[in-house]
Structure 1
């Protein structure tokens, strides 16, 4: 019944009106305006090299943003994604240095990341803790595991075979494999989130968990598997980072969760659950990437950059709060 009602509303709403009201349209306008302004401010902005660098910089983070967006839609949040990315890197790197081939080591790293998601999902759905506290504890514990595995020393993986390095450093007809993988993940989960019945339950659970439960949706199962998905994608991103940089540092990914959450919220994912799109989240991280590139080209001190990003996040959360309040009234 709930799905039928939503489908009816979508049919009755004129397509031009839906496009005009999309948050994505506003983000595209802001990104284009920034690009135009920066084209006058710096001659180096509108260059193929700069755009390639921006795409490379947010492509791997974009994979993590996909999982975070789906988790935010269901009403959760994961503060441990940066630590999980690092954990996948150092575990896979350590196994490779111990003699395992990099493909098997990477698979184990991704599966171990999924296991972390299972543990956090257990504490959320069975024990009854909320996502914030659970993932906060997970962030500290997993970061500690990274330090234990590496003994605080970065791992140099220069002996990785060329075939594995090609995943993070190679290209196909001039297009880096990293960007191809990123777009493949985005298109897959954007399609599933819009079309697959299983992932549509994410919206129903996030919008009104009690109503979803009464309509027969096993909401705890939905929250559990979305938590696992978020950690798995973070682990996958960690393996790509390892391939790209040929190293694994135990402090990698510190503060990454700020960018990830900011991108998803800027893109329209509500902290109250029930709304958000993959496209919006990707536009959100693209906006942050454009801002970062602009600050660098304008020689803005690195000490100011985090503060500016924090202000952007605060603004996005404020907008989300007022929009949610307006819908509720």
Structure 2
């Protein structure tokens, strides 16, 4: 009997040690502590309606976070994700209004988003520019194209067929399709990033590009395709947004890059490349969503929200900097 108790205690200690060693453990504790505090501060926090609203608010944006996380791991960054999301909406919406069916229009919108990623990848890998400058230029150019196509006027897409709108507005047994799609995308890329050999090259390239080249990895190809992947996922998110809101606004997605980068970095993705997980990035997204929901329920002015998110991002980047300096 005593031996069984000792074995059980040892197993619990081992489980706790494994949890504590996870980089995401601290983030999980912070989110739980914040949820407990908010449940005491507001009776509306621990309700299905509030959690459903939080999940809906970051599920589509979470798809963009997946692409951004993988790009950060390879050592890049994309400031154009918000503009690409908007561009996918605008192109798909304009093609639909021109007479194309919404499914084909959406595929074209996603394909055009991938093409934007390919152009950025070309300038990074062939011309030799860095991701920051390239994506900054792409952000401005793509946003300008959105304004040119729409002439600065939102496209009303209320005539979209119900079966297409269901992607963004429908549900399965009370669970919105948006959340289901988000979970599937996260599960697929989290698995690939952990298990697939091709995706291990992303970590090798981000950790030490020269060493990766010496080991036979074509690092420029890795960076190119990851850039394309990030833009493609942004385009996919844009199509879901279009189905959800039934409109395409040329200013949509402005500032989205802040949330996406903040979530990935808070979740453990390094701005220096070589580290990060999809699970951690989604936890970062969840933390930002809980913070936003808490501020709303506490009736704190919306003008403070961006400032608080910026402070959280600064704290996460500072922690990442000191952690890398300690390792060095």
**Short-chain TM bin:** over 0.9
- In the alignment, what sits opposite 1:169? 169
- CA separation in 1, counterparts of 2:119 and 2:62? 24
Report how far residue 19 of structure 1 moved.
3.1
- CA separation in 2, counterparts of 1:45 and 1:17? 31
- CA separation in 1, counterparts of 2:77 and 2:262? 12
- In the alignment, what sits opposite 2:182? 182
Report how far residue 22 of structure 1 moved.
1.4
Report how far residue 21 of structure 1 moved.
1.8
Local SS of the residue matching 1:185: helix
Structure showing greater radius of gyration is 2
Following superposition of structure 1 onto structure 2, how do residues 75-154 of structure 1 map, counting pairs within 5 Å? 75-154=75-154
CA offset digits 1:26-64 (Å, max 9, x no partner): 111111100000011111111110000000000000000
- CA separation in 2, counterparts of 1:112 and 1:82? 15
- In the alignment, what sits opposite 1:44? 44
- In the alignment, what sits opposite 1:30? 30
- CA separation in 2, counterparts of 1:267 and 1:43? 28
The runs of at least 4 consecutive aligned structure 1 residues that moved more than 2 Å come to 14-19
Local SS of the residue matching 2:24: helix
Q: Any stretches of 5+ residues in structure 2 without a counterpart?
A: 1-13
Superposed CA RMSD in Å reads: 0.9
Local SS of the residue matching 1:23: coil
Alignment of 1:290 onto 2:284? no
- In the alignment, what sits opposite 1:55? 55
- In the alignment, what sits opposite 2:20? 20
- CA separation in 2, counterparts of 1:153 and 1:22? 48
Report how far residue 23 of structure 1 moved.
2.0
- CA separation in 2, counterparts of 1:89 and 1:140? 17
Report how far residue 74 of structure 1 moved.
0.2
Report how far residue 18 of structure 1 moved.
4.5
- In the alignment, what sits opposite 2:221? 221
CA offset digits 1:278-314 (Å, max 9, x no partner): 0000000000000000000111111111101100000
Task: Provide the aligned length of Structure 1 versus Structure 2.
Answer: 315
CA offset digits 1:126-166 (Å, max 9, x no partner): 00000000000000000000000100000010000000000
Report how far residue 15 of structure 1 moved.
7.4
